[in-house]
Amino acid sequence: MYMGKHSNKLAEITGFSIFQGISYGRLNGIFFNASISDMNGLCIVSCFIKRDTGINLAGINAFLESNRKKYKNAKAAYNGSVVTITIPNFLKLNAPLVAEFLNDVSVYLQENNYYSSGCNLCGSTDDLGFTFSDGRIMEICSNCHNSLSAEMAGLKQERETSGSVLRGTIGAVLGGILGIIPWVLLGLIGFIASISGLIMGYFARKGYILFGGKRNRTMLLVIAVVIIVFTYAAVIVNQTIADYRYLTEDGYLQIPILSLLRFELGLPFDTNYEVGYLWGQLALGWLFAGLGCFSLLRDVYKTGAGRDLEAKRIEKSDNT
């Protein structure tokens, strides 16, 4: 999720600091992370809160529901250390609105005896600092930071020594084959969009991981190649169906569709035919696949490089 100008504007309005597109700081005593995607307007807010009587997630969601007209479809989830609120894209979402949302949420949390104090992990008030890990910025003590860094290093080492590129490639290929189905179904109704590429990329990545693929830099290469190859296949299948309908309905030709498919799979490289239109369709398919998979491939790159298993202590000079 690309974050830039909207998150920067949010930091300017709230007085928060910003690191890697994430605004973070305290509002009415509550410690928040907030990010707004410049690509689709999706907003994610993380609330690092505690309460002596425990977190009442149903109560928080009831508050969000009561403000449904103001903050459409906002939903909260709790994973044991942080409450994450997601506001899906709606066109009016912007930094001033998110700043207003943060203020409303912080007031609600404060009025209901929630608080943010001390280390987000252990509660200690000694030697606090900010640590970036797994896409979030936490306020934690140096002992918890060191423990988290050691844990991440161990997981990274385990990832580098386990898994198989071959198994992962098989899984990605099977995922690519599954990804052809929704592409073709959408094509049958004359609709091709970046969502088709996103679905194919999702299946390819899921297949790679489920089959125990090695999560290193090769993972990105395998998934990118699968997306390119099976986007080619999906476009050709769509074109084959269109040609088959034309040839059979008008009585020009009676031929098994699989025979026509075998012919058309190699057609773009056949110099005996004028195939410029087909390359145009392929270029359009790859464009939509690229647009749909941009964020997914970036996440795959971060996973392969181990960047999702880092615990970085943020210095003042790191903030933008």
Model confidence pLDDT, tens digit, residues 39-57: 666 789 999 999 999 999 9
Cβ(25)–Cβ(16) under 8 Å?
A: yes
Domain end marker among 55, 89, 117: 117
| pLDDT > 70 fraction of the chain, expressed in percent and rounded | 92
Reported as a pLDDT band with limits 50, 70 and 90, residue 1 is very low
Evaluate whether residue 142 is within a structural domain. no
Cβ(137)–Cβ(19) under 8 Å?
A: yes
Domain end marker among 117, 150, 175: 117
In the predicted model, what is the mean pLDDT of residues 282-307? 83
Evaluate whether residue 189 is within a structural domain. yes
Q: Averaging pLDDT over each range in 142-156, 183-197, 267-281, which range is the top one?
A: 142-156
In the predicted model, what is the mean pLDDT of residues 144-162? 89
Is residue 17 domain-shared with residue 95, that is, in the same domain? Answer: yes
Is residue 194 domain-shared with residue 91, that is, in the same domain? Answer: no
Q: What pLDDT, on the 0 to 100 scale, is given for residue 194?
A: 65
Evaluate whether residue 99 is within a structural domain. yes
Of the candidate ranges 42-56, 70-84, 107-121, 183-197, the one whose mean pLDDT is the lowest: 183-197
Evaluate whether residue 149 is within a structural domain. no
Q: State how far the Cα of 211 lies from the Cα of 4, in Å rounded to an integer.
A: 35
**Which structural domain range is residue 289 located in?**
165-308
CATH number at residue 59: 3.30.1460.10
Evaluate whether residue 317 is within a structural domain. no
Evaluate whether residue 138 is within a structural domain. no
pLDDT in tens, 223-242: 999 999 999 999 899 888 88
Of the candidate ranges 20-29, 205-214, 266-275, the one whose mean pLDDT is the lowest: 266-275
Q: Between 39 and 20, whose confidence is greater?
A: 20
Is residue 182 domain-shared with residue 254, that is, in the same domain? Answer: yes
Q: What pLDDT, on the 0 to 100 scale, is given for residue 145?
A: 95
Q: State how far the Cα of 74 lies from the Cα of 43, in Å rounded to an integer.
A: 9
Reported as a pLDDT band with limits 50, 70 and 90, residue 193 is low
Is residue 14 domain-shared with residue 87, that is, in the same domain? Answer: yes
Reported as a pLDDT band with limits 50, 70 and 90, residue 93 is low
Number of domains in the chain: 2
Q: State how far the Cα of 199 lies from the Cα of 33, in Å rounded to an integer.
A: 29
Reported as a pLDDT band with limits 50, 70 and 90, residue 78 is very high
Is residue 71 domain-shared with residue 169, that is, in the same domain? Answer: no
Cβ(130)–Cβ(68) under 8 Å?
A: no
Q: Between 237 and 246, whose confidence is greater?
A: 237
| 3-state DSSP assignment of residue 312 | strand
Is residue 176 domain-shared with residue 298, that is, in the same domain? Answer: yes
Is residue 61 domain-shared with residue 181, that is, in the same domain? Answer: no
Evaluate whether residue 143 is within a structural domain. no
- Phi, psi at residue 137, to the nearest 5°? -110, 120
Closest residue by Cα to residue 241 from 249, 251, 252: 249
Is residue 52 domain-shared with residue 172, that is, in the same domain? Answer: no
Is residue 175 domain-shared with residue 298, that is, in the same domain? Answer: yes
Is residue 107 domain-shared with residue 197, that is, in the same domain? Answer: no
Reported as a pLDDT band with limits 50, 70 and 90, residue 208 is very high
Q: State how far the Cα of 144 lies from the Cα of 314, in Å rounded to an integer.
A: 14
| pLDDT > 90 fraction of the chain, expressed in percent and rounded | 44
Q: What pLDDT, on the 0 to 100 scale, is given for residue 91?
A: 43
Helix (H), strand (E) at residue 14: helix 5-14
In the predicted model, what is the mean pLDDT of residues 213-227? 91
Domain end marker among 117, 139, 156: 117
Is residue 189 domain-shared with residue 100, that is, in the same domain? Answer: no
Is residue 304 domain-shared with residue 178, that is, in the same domain? Answer: yes
Reported as a pLDDT band with limits 50, 70 and 90, residue 304 is confident
Evaluate whether residue 139 is within a structural domain. no
